[in-house]
Structures are given as C-alpha cells and as structure tokens.
Amino acid sequence: MSSTLDVEAPATDPRDEPPARHRSSGDVARTVVRGISQTLITLGLVALLFVVYQLWVTDLLAARAQDRLTEQLQDQWAGSPALDTPGATDPTEGTPPADGSAPPTHTPAPIEAGIGDPFAILHIPRLGDDYARVVVQGSSEVQLEQGPGHYVDTAMPGEQGNFSVAGHRVGRGSPFLDLDRMRPGDAIVVETADSWFVYRVLGDPATGEFTGDPTGIPGREVVRPSQVSVIAPTPGGGEPTGAYLTLTTCHPRYSAAQRLILHARLDGAPISKAAAPDGPAALAG
C-alpha cells in the first residue's frame, strides 16, 4: 500500500485527494473557523498596511510632488518679467538708487495662478531653518496631496484680506504637523516671484498668550470644521481691515473632529527680492 502510493503520487500533496469518507461535522466547523480567522488576520494586516501607507508612503509621494513643484516654480520665476528689473540681474553690485532718494517702495506684481499651479513658497523658521513648502492654488484633496493649498476665494500674499492656506497635519508630507509649536510673534515668510512677505502670528510674544491683539483676533484657535469665518477677509468676519494670513489643519492629530487655526498679520512692507535675494532677516530666525 505504502509502496504503491510512493510510486504513483510522489509529488502530489495528499490533501489534493478528497478523502473518501464522508466529511464529519467537526471538519466543517474547523474549516469555517479557519476561514473566519484567516479573514480577520487578513483584515488586520490590511489595516496595518493602511497605517504604513498613510504615515510613510504618502510622505514619499508628497515629497516627490514638492520636488516637481519647486522645479516648476523656479522655472516659472526664472522666466518671470518681474525679476528683470534693474539690479535684479546683478545683485552683487547692490547699488542704492542713484538719484539719492529713499529706496522706492516695492510694489509686488499681482499674482495669477490657475487651479493646481504653484505660486508661492511658505517658510516657517520655527518649524526648521530649511522649512519650505510650495503652496499650490486650490484647497481640494488633489491639490493638498502635493502641498499646502490656497483657498481660492481668499486674498493672495500681501494683499488686503486673508491669505488662507490649508495643509495636512499627518501624512502627505505632514506640512502642518507641528503647527501647535508656533508661538505669538513667530514669523511666517511667504516668498513669491518678486517679493518676500513677513507675517507674524498674532498674540503677545512676551507672555506667550495668543489673545490680546487689539483687533481681538486670536493668534491660534481650535474651531469646528464648519466655521468658515476663520478665513474671512478679516478673520472672524467682516470687511478687510488689514493683510492677514491664516493656516488651517486638522486637530487633534490623526483626527478630523476639529480644525487648528493660526492667524498672522503682515509685518512691514513687502520686500523686493531684488533687494534681498536671500530673504528678509526674519527668515534667519
């Protein structure tokens, strides 16, 4: 018997042959339990894989998108007529205006960007000396996959109104992961084709309180997702009364129950890139 089996079916798994005897109810129960447990283990592994995807794979994808956008933006800016002003082509000379007048006030060129186009770089020294993220136009998921996205209906950098940007807290490069580390008075520097704009988080830098700005606008707040007034021309609502910047992200981390909001106001006049090719002093810390 055993010799016959060895000769006839040496490579065949014995389980391939259905057992001749009738399956007992114990076998059926075992098969069902095994099937359920395997399904559960599989679901667990898929859930773990999703965490890996959310925390690391999306970071890789976003980093690639940011690299591409940076290149696109540099090309765009290199060909921008705004930089072809005298002095911009030869910044090493750095001669002040020859007519002896005070440096002319720099008027930034208006920015136009189609949905999905990069148009500015966000520098936040508090989040790292080399923290720089390309901002794209539009705040739907497609744009936010690539980097911080600008709410289309809000002001552009430097304009009167509220330059509002949304960004992911966790995953997709986590651009706004550490937004809760921002303190009152911290600089948020926005770089455009021809200008630097320095915004400062509202609040009292001496005490670290986010409240206390004369306008009553807090530097940081946590709101319901439906509270769109945080990106109104004047945060909280009302007509434009100044040039503000608002960042929105989810809160708490790994959740979408609330939104963490940062408000900042433009600090000083826009700085021409021709005058400061390496950025304003605020960028250094």
Residues that bind other proteins in the complex, under the rule CB under 8 A: 11, 13, 15-16, 34-35, 38-39, 42, 46, 49-50, 53-54, 57-58, 139, 141, 144, 149, 151, 166-172, 176, 223, 225-228, 230-231, 248-250, 254-256, 259, 261
Residue among 220 and 273 whose Cβ is closer to other proteins? 220
133 vs 169, beta carbon nearer other proteins = 169
Q: Which CB sits closer to other proteins, 5 or 52?
A: 52
Taking the complex as a whole, the smallest distance from the CB of residue 249 to other proteins amounts, in Å, to 5
Q: How far is the CB of 36 from other proteins (least distance, A)?
A: 10
DSSP designation for 33: H
Token pair 């503000």: residue: 244
- Smallest separation (angstroms) from other proteins to the CB of 148: 9
Residue nearer to other proteins on the CB measure, 151 or 196: 151
Please give the Cα distance from 123 to 107 (Å, whole number). 21
Cα–Cα distance for residue pair 171/197, rounded to 1 Å: 28
Q: Which is nearer to other proteins, 36 or 284 (CB)?
A: 36
CB of 101 to other proteins, least distance (A): 45
3-state secondary structure of 264: strand
Residues with Cβ within 8 Å of residue 203, at least 6 apart in sequence: 183, 184, 185, 209, 210, 211, 212, 213, 218, 219, 220
Residue with Cβ nearer other proteins (35 or 205): 35
Count of helices and strands (H, E) across the chain? 4, 10
- What is the distance between the alpha carbons of residues 136 and 146, in angstroms, rounded to a whole number? 8
**Cβ at position 107, least distance to other proteins in Å:** 31
What is the distance between the alpha carbons of residues 31 and 231, in angstroms, rounded to a whole number? Answer: 58
> What's the min distance (Å) between Cβ of 113 and other proteins?
18
Residue 158 contacts residue 243 (beta carbons within 8 Å):
yes
